[in-house]
Amino acid sequence: MLESIKLSETSALVLLFLQDQVYHSNAVKEYLLHLDLSAGKELHNACNAIWPQYAEVIVNRKHTILQHINEALAKNPSLQIISGAAGLDPFGLELTQRHKGLEIYEIDREQMPIKAGLINIPNLHLIACDLADTTTVIEKLKQSGWQQDEPTFLVMEGISYYLTPDILRNFVTTIKPRYAIFDHLRESGMNEAADLIGSNVFDLIHDYIKMDKMQRYNALSLRELLEMKIIKNWSLCAMEHQRIGQNVHFPSDDFGWVDVTAFESKG
Ligand SMILES: C[S@@+](CC[C@H](N)C(=O)[O-])C[C@H]1O[C@@H](n2cnc3c(N)ncnc32)[C@H](O)[C@@H]1O
Residue nearest to atom 5 of ligand 1 (CA): 86
CATH superfamily, domain 55-265, is Vaccinia Virus protein VP39 (3.40.50.150)
pLDDT at 187: 95
Q: Is the pLDDT of residue 69 over 70?
A: yes
Quote the ligand 1 centre to 109 CA distance (angstroms).
7
Q: What is the 3-state secondary structure (H, E, C) of the chain?
A: CCCCEECCHHHHHHHHHHCCCCCCCHHHHHHHHCEECHHHHHHHHHHHHHCCCHHHHHHHHHHHHHHHHHHHHHHCCCCEEEEECCCCCCHHHHHHHHCCCCCEEEEECCCHHHHHHHCCCCCEEEEECCCCCHHHHHHHHHHCCCCCCCCEEEEECCCHHHCCHHHHHHHHHHHCCCEEEEEEECCCCCCHHHHHHHHHHHHHHHHHHCCCCCCCCCHHHHHHHHCEEEEEEECHHHHHHHHHCCCCCCCCCCCCCEEEEEEEECC
Q: Is the CB of 206 under 6 A from ligand 1?
A: no
Per-residue pLDDT tens digits for 203-234: 998 888 777 788 999 999 999 999 999 999 99
Q: Is the CB of 15 under 6 A from ligand 1?
A: no
Closest atom of ligand 1 to CA, residue 83: 6
Q: Is the CB of 159 under 6 A from ligand 1?
A: yes
Distance CA 176, CA 184 (A): 20
CA dihedral 177, 140, 206, 187 (to 10 degrees): -10
Per-residue pLDDT tens digits for 233-261: 999 999 999 999 999 999 999 999 999 99
Q: Is the pLDDT of residue 24 over 80?
A: yes
Antiparallel, parallel or unpaired: β 35-36 and 5-6: parallel
Q: What is the mean pLDDT of residues 107-132?
A: 95
Contacts of 174 (CB under 8 A, 6+ apart): 134, 137, 138
Q: Is the CB of 130 under 6 A from ligand 1?
A: yes
Q: Is the CB of 110 under 6 A from ligand 1?
A: yes
- CB contact at 8 A, 76 and 62: no
Q: For the purposes of burial, counting CB atoms within 10 Å of the CB of 193, is it exposed (0-12), middle (13-18) or buried (19 or more)?
A: exposed
Quote the ligand 1 centre to 133 CA distance (angstroms).
14
Q: Read off the pTM.
A: 0.96
pLDDT at 210: 77
Q: Is the pLDDT of residue 60 over 60?
A: yes
Residue nearest to atom 9 of ligand 1 (CA): 89
Q: What is the mean pLDDT of residues 109-117?
A: 93
Q: Is the CB of 87 under 6 A from ligand 1?
A: yes
- CB contact at 8 A, 255 and 242: no
Residue nearest to atom 2 of ligand 1 (CA): 158
Q: Is the pLDDT of residue 1 over 70?
A: no
> How many C-beta atoms lie closer than 10 Å to residue 34's C-beta?
14
pLDDT band per the 50, 70, 90 thresholds, residue 50: very high
